[in-house]
């Protein structure tokens, strides 16, 4: 896979290093000569160019890229680059780095952003995930499909504990995608059972989060909420 990264700062270089280690071809664009440090990621193709100029993107071969990552420290530059990548060069997948939380709402398909990565949101989500048991935590938002990746550490007194996964009817459009138990991620199996302390990862639309949280909540907190479906 060919990936172009706008911005060769610490973030851009770190992403490039990871991608190259996984066998991908990476082009790094950087307009600041002081940040042009080819020795830090020698296996990447480096270009001293403005990632917001069409001529520079043409020279970089953006139309041949599978993914474009806007990783500069400037939200305006990241938005412009993503928009050009999507509208002018038809890049299949665009990822935009959000530097300021107040700008997060701009990073949508209207600006050509398929995936917005907000460091403040990710850090706060990880903090919540680390300290919360029984609370649904939103980890990630998929802009194009209007769905979220959410996580809950299942309380020991949840009505779902001990239930066969195949017998649980999740809210509409909610999908259980992984169960993390004893530091190991597992695909959910219909004949498997949930245990207290399991970390459950779901993909769900935002409107389904409340119902999902109520279904997984401890018994004493679930009065009036939807109960797990019984055996047929």
Pairing of strands 45-48, 25-30: parallel
For the whole prediction, is pTM greater than 0.85? no
Full set of structural domains in the chain with CATH: 2-117 (3.40.50.720), 132-221 (3.30.70.1450)
Report pLDDT for 126.
55
Instruction: Name every residue whose Cβ is closer than 8 Å to that of residue 187 and which is 6 or more positions away in sequence.
Output: 178, 179
Q: Residue 118: phi, psi to the nearest 5?
A: -105, 110
Report pLDDT for 143.
65
Distance of CA 148 to the CA centre of its chain: 9
Sign of CA dihedral 96, 101, 103, 107: positive
Rg over alpha carbons for the chain, rounded to the nearest Å, is 21
Pairing of strands 175-181, 199-204: antiparallel
Element holding 2 (H helix, E strand): strand 2-6
Residue-by-residue DSSP string for 171-227 = STT-EEEEEEETTEEE---TT-B--TT-EEEEEE-GGGHHHHHHHHS-GGG-TTSPP
196, two tokens? 């207290």
Report pLDDT for 229.
44
Report pLDDT for 232.
41
> Other C-beta atoms within 10 Å of 169: how many?
12
Report pLDDT for 138.
78
CA angle 42, 122, 101 (to 5 degrees): 100
| Strand-pair partners of 6 | 29, 70
Q: pLDDT tens, position by position, for the chain (232 residues)?
A: 999 999 999 999 999 999 999 899 999 999 999 989 999 999 999 999 999 999 999 999 999 999 999 999 999 999 999 999 999 999 999 999 999 888 989 999 999 999 888 866 665 555 555 545 457 777 777 766 788 888 888 888 899 999 999 999 998 889 999 999 988 888 999 999 999 989 999 999 988 888 998 899 875 544 444 444 444 4
Residue-by-residue DSSP string for 39-86 = GGSTTSEEEES-TT-HHHHHHTTGGG-SEEEE--S-HHHHHHHHHHHH
Report pLDDT for 183.
80
Report pLDDT for 115.
87
Rounded Cα distance between 8 and 1, Å, is 19
């Amino acid at each position: 896979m060919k990936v172009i990264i706008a911005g060769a700062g610490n973030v851009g270089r770190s992403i490039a290093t990871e991608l190259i280690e996984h066998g991908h071809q990476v082009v790094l664009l950087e307009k600041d000569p002081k940040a042009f440090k080819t020795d830090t990621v020698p296996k990447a193709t480096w270009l001293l160019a403005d990632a917001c100029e069409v001529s520079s993107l043409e020279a970089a071969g953006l139309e041949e890229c599978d993914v474009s990552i806007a990783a500069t420290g400037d939200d305006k530059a990241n938005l412009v680059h993503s928009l050009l990548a999507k509208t002018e060069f038809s890049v299949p997948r665009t990822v935009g780095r959000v530097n300021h939380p107040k700008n997060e709402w701009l990073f949508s398909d209207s600006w050509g952003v398929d995936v917005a990565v907000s460091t403040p949101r990710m850090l706060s989500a990880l903090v919540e995930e680390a300290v919360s048991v029984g609370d649904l935590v939103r980890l990630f938002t998929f802009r194009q499909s209007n769905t979220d990746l959410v996580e809950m550490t299942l309380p020991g007194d949840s009505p779902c504990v001990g239930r066969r996964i195949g017998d649980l009817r999740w809210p509409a459009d909610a999908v259980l995608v992984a169960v993390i138990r004893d530091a190991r991620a597992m695909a959910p199996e219909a004949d498997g059972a949930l245990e207290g302390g399991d970390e459950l990862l779901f993909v769900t639309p935002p409107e389904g989060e409340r119902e999902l949280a109520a279904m997984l909540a401890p018994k004493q907190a679930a009065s009036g909420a939807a109960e797990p479906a019984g055996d047929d």
